[in-house]
């Protein structure tokens, strides 16, 4: 897909929010007059990204998303410890998606001082009427008392950002109050699909009841979700699960029956963008399946996550067990 192209832009430093709102309205108006372009959106996406690197990654993913979920993008960069100020930028983008033009708007706000703790008061001026608002916390999990959550119909998080089991507990509490979509969970879909596919053949599925040990590698959040998912779905004893820290997620299930052992594994190797699933059953040739990972993992997991905007009971159950497994 082609990259989004900036059609027109405005920026101001040390401005009031109403100036940004006015500038955006003017840009839309001028754009409509010059290009007579239709502008349709299905949601407002608010991204909170304090650092340059996170902001860059987030905007790249969000602009790429326009072909699938045309949205107004509001990028918030809060700096509560700096002096009170507000810098704004409004940009109109056009994207050629499958031979049709998609137009969308992006507003970037850098806010310093106390207002950075009240981002909700900045956002509603930009939310599109009657459409869902997704609030994406880029690179950190939200504080449950963050007032910005009140604006969100959907909260987008990445459980990979969970630094410890306690933060997973906070995420679970949040999910009980609001619809939360987890980018890690979307990314892990490849692992989950391959893991499920290992038990599609009937001769393999018979081993499900005999699983005795589950080893999961990865970072705190993703490995917890995978462990929680397996325990919840097959009704396993939590004691059977062990975790190891690793860069990429992988998991291995060991089953024993009648003195024989079977192993089922889903792994990603460091140097390849593919996930490999292997089933080794006694007396049989190992079964292997692979799946390629998308080039732009962030954009594709975001697109996947935003396809459904309701709660995901399977994820919630997995998270619930994950917190229990982690002793949080």
Residues that bind another protein (CB under 8 A): 16-18, 25, 28-29, 32-33, 36, 38-42, 68, 86, 109, 111, 114-115, 118, 120-122, 124-125, 127-133, 153, 307-311
State in angstroms the smallest separation of the CB of 285 from another protein. 32
DSSP 204-269: HHGGGGGEEEEEEEE-HHHHHHHHHHHHHHHT--GGGEEEEE-SS-EEEEEEEETTEEEEEEEEE-
- ∠ CA 143-144-149, nearest 5°, is 95
Of 122 and 220, the one with the shorter C-beta distance to another protein is: 122
Phi first, then psi: give them for residue 167, nearest 5 degrees.
Answer: -70, -30
For another protein, the closer CB: 37 or 54? 37
**Least gap, CB of 110 to another protein (angstroms):** 11
Question: Would you tell me the crossing angle of helices 297-305 and 52-65 to the nearest 10 degrees?
Answer: 60
Q: Which residue, chain included where needed, has tokens 């920026």?
A: 11
Quote the least distance from Cβ 86 to another protein, whole Å. 6
Distance CA 181, CA 188 (A): 13
State CA 119 to chain mean position distance: 21
Q: Between residues 240 and 309, which has the closer beta carbon with respect to another protein? A: 309
Listed residue (35, 77, 311) closest to 172, CA to CA: 311
CB of 223 to another protein, least distance (A): 26
User: Which CB atom, from 16 or from 205, has the smaller least distance to another protein?
Assistant: 16
Shortest separation between residue 154's beta carbon and another protein, angstroms: 8
- Residue nearer to another protein on the CB measure, 21 or 208: 21
Q: How far is the CB of 178 from another protein (least distance, A)?
A: 13
Between 120 and 193, CB nearer to another protein: 120
CA–CA dist 144, 175 (Å, integer): 10
β-partners of residue 104 are 93
The partner residues of 238 in beta bridges, in order of sequence, read: none
């Amino acid at each position: 897909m082609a990259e989004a192209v900036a059609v027109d832009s405005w920026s101001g430093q040390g401005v009031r929010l109403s100036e940004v709102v006015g500038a955006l309205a003017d840009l839309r108006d001028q754009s409509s007059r010059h290009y007579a372009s239709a502008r349709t959106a299905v949601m407002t996406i608010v991204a909170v990204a304090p650092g340059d690197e996170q902001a860059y990654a987030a905007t790249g993913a969000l602009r790429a998303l326009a072909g699938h979920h045309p949205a107004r993008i509001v990028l918030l960069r809060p700096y509560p410890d700096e002096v009170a100020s507000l810098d704004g930028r409004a940009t109109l983008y056009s994207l050629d998606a499958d031979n049709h033009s998609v137009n969308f708007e992006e507003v970037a706000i850098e806010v310093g001082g106390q207002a950075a703790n009240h981002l909700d008061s900045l956002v509603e001026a930009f939310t599109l009427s009657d459409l869902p608002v997704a609030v994406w916390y880029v690179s950190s999990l939200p504080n449950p008392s963050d007032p910005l959550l009140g604006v969100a119909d959907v909260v987008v998080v990445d459980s990979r950002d969970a630094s410890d089991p306690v933060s997973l507990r906070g995420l679970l509490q949040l999910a009980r109050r609001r619809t939360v979509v987890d980018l890690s969970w979307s990314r892990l879909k490849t692992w989950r699909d391959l893991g499920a596919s290992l038990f599609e053949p009937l001769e393999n599925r018979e081993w499900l009841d005999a699983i005795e040990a589950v080893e999961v590698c990865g970072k705190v959040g993703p490995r917890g979700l995978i462990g929680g998912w397996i325990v919840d779905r097959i009704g396993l004893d939590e004691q059977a699960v062990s975790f190891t820290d690793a860069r990429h997620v992988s998991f291995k299930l060991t089953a024993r029956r009648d003195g024989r052992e079977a192993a089922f594994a889903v792994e990603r190797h460091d140097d390849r963008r593919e996930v490999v699933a292997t089933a080794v059953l006694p007396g049989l040739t190992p079964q292997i399946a692979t799946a390629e990972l998308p080039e732009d993992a962030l954009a594709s997991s975001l697109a996947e996550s935003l396809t459904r905007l309701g709660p995901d009971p399977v994820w919630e159950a997995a998270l619930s067990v994950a917190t229990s497994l982690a002793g949080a």
